[in-house]
Amino acid sequence: MMSNSVPTHALYGRPATENASLAHSRGSKAAPPSGPYIGRNRCLADNDTCEGPKAKGTDFCIGHLRQMMKESDG
C-alpha cells in the first residue's frame, strides 16, 4: 500500500457480506440446466475459422452460401 492510501473499510465500514459468498448464501439453489449441448453452431468455411452462424439446414453461413452460388453461376 502507498503511504497515503487508506483501505475502503476504514472510510465506509466493513461490508455485510464480508465472510459470505453470494453464490452460496443460505437458501440459494443451483440454476437448472438450460438444455442439451447441440454442438458448435458456426460456419465451417475457411478451415472452420468463419464465425458466422449456420444457415438452417446447411453447414455454412449466408455469406459463404451466397459466395458459393456466385462461383457456381460464373
Output the pLDDT for position 53: 94
pLDDT by 10-residue block (mean), the chain, 74 residues: 76 71 69 79 89 92 94 85
Output the pLDDT for position 68: 93
In single-letter form, the type of residue at position 1 comes to M
Q: How many CB atoms within 10 Å of residue 64?
A: 19
pTM above 0.75, yes or no: no
Output the pLDDT for position 22: 60
Output the pLDDT for position 29: 78
| Alpha carbon distance 37, 44 (integer Å) | 18
